[in-house]
Amino acid sequence: MAAVSQADTPRWVPAVSGAIFLVILFLLAGPRPAGVAGAVDVSFLPWLNAALNATTAGLLVAALIAVRAHKIRLHKTLMTTALGASTLFLVSYVTYHWFSAGPTRYEGPFRAGYLAMLISHIVLATVILPAALTTWYRGWTGRVAAHRRVAPRTFWLWLYVAVTGVLITVLAHRWPG
């Protein structure tokens, strides 16, 4: 495999990825000011998050179809929109975990499978953020050879994270109402 130059991965990718990782880690494990948990009704946000993940998955598949049909401009638009949907997901996810009273525990009949899916989802979500940003940047800036080296793996990991995000929500949360 050819070496990737510094220009193929901008310095902001690890900085942004690391900052988001630290924010999420703090939200899940760090202290919150008294009165924040439960101060705002965020019960609808898991379903918004699932919708954003489903939208991302659909956009990824549409982008794959577009690039295979050599519709590069459409592919770029779809991938940028998928990145936007994932960004909205992250904002919603952070908001939910800041204001929610605590983590939702799945106690259903598929607990072992749920936990395996959840763990793989969390691990791969930390990997996909810098991978998606790097892959998008390489494609957007015309570094096609570098983009093609990582795009297939990024696609399948990102699709897995998006789809399992929907499944985790469906299993862990009851439909409101």
Domains of the chain by residue range: 41-172
Model confidence band, residue 69 (pLDDT cutoffs 50, 70, 90): very high
Q: How far apart are CA 174 and CA 177, in angstroms?
A: 9
Q: What is the predicted pLDDT for the residue at 159? A: 98
Model confidence band, residue 1 (pLDDT cutoffs 50, 70, 90): very low
What is the per-residue burial (b if ≥16 Cβ within 10 Å, else e) of 73-88? eebbebbeebbebbeb
Residue percentage of the chain with pLDDT more than 70: 92
Q: How far apart are CA 149 and CA 29, in angstroms?
A: 36
Average pLDDT, the chain: 87
| Higher pLDDT among residues 54 and 104, named by residue | 54
What value does the mean pLDDT take over residues 27-43? Answer: 79
Q: How far apart are CA 138 and CA 123, in angstroms?
A: 23
From the candidate CATH numbers 2.40.30.10, 1.20.120.80, 1.20.5.510, 1.10.20.10, the one assigned to the domain spanning 41-172: 1.20.120.80
What value does the mean pLDDT take over residues 50-61? Answer: 98
